[in-house]
Amino acid sequence: MLQFFSKYKFFGIVMLVLSAIIITIIYNVYTIDDGKTLPIYQPNDVTAELVDTTIQHVKKYHEIANFSLTNQNGQTITQEDYKDKIYVADFFFTTCQTICPIMTDHMVKIQEKVKNDPEIMLLSHSVTPKVDTVAQLKKYALEKGVNDKKWNLVTGDKKEIYDLARKSYLAAKDMPYNEYDLIHTENFVLVDKKKRIRGFYDGTDPEAIEEIMEDIKILEKEK
């Protein structure tokens, strides 16, 4: 019996080492990184009704255009304020009584989850900028508990905002009877540090919050 174990001792050690390596690999695969990546959305990937006709053909290199808008504190907000940031954007208006209150409440929950993460910000654009003055946005921000360091509610030139909605964020439906009218959607748009769209989410769906948070973690790992 001792001769048997002595004869196969080396083989046993090799098998033991191999088993340890295999277990380690399996553990890493299932508990550390599933290798998931997020798509980079182009205008050609999105439902045509949400995309301005001038860019529906674009299949690559799409990014959020530069902008200059005014936030709830009367400060000018540009791409520089979001440089090297991952952010969630949406479109709303303060007097909306349908989907906007739900969307805003869900943004508040996202804000709470990212409050200690300097890489993440939020950006909400008013689609009724004449009504949503700085004072109105400030009042709304205070009511909703907006953290000024994490979340900008912006107003500004109506055409610029509408162009951003349809030509950059791909998040609003056109209303053809008026050149500068549109219907904003419930979409939350996830933007990466290179100003590219990486996800669309139903801002009225509570489950979408967790999906956004998981996708943000994925983006934070990207180099």
Query: What pLDDT is recorded for position 2?
Result: 44
Rounded CA separation 67/76 (Å)? 10
Query: What pLDDT is recorded for position 184?
Result: 82
Query: What pLDDT is recorded for position 30?
Result: 37
- Give the DSSP letter string of 117-144: -TTEEEEEEES-TTTS-HHHHHHHHHHH
Query: What pLDDT is recorded for position 173?
Result: 86
Taking only the tens place, the pLDDT of each residue in 168-209 is 999 988 765 455 566 789 999 999 999 999 999 999 999 999
Average pLDDT over residues 137-148: 98
100 is in an annotated binding site: yes
Query: What pLDDT is recorded for position 26?
Result: 38
96 is in an annotated binding site: yes
Find the range with the poorest average confidence among 26-30, 101-105, 166-170, 172-176. Answer: 26-30
pTM given for the model: 0.82
Q: How confident is the model at residue 17 (pLDDT cuts 50, 70, 90)?
A: very low
Q: What angle do CA 121, 192, 104 make, to 5 degrees?
A: 40
184 is in an annotated binding site: yes
Residue 33 pLDDT greater than 80, yes or no: no
Q: How confident is the model at residue 36 (pLDDT cuts 50, 70, 90)?
A: confident
Rounded CA separation 107/101 (Å)? 10
Q: What angle do CA 33, 34, 40 make, to 5 degrees?
A: 105
Taking only the tens place, the pLDDT of each residue in 54-101 is 999 999 999 999 999 999 999 999 999 999 999 999 999 999 999 999
Rounded CA separation 37/222 (Å)? 9
Taking only the tens place, the pLDDT of each residue in 116-132 is 999 999 999 999 999 99
- Rg of the chain's alpha carbons, rounded to an integer? 24
Average pLDDT in the chain: 87
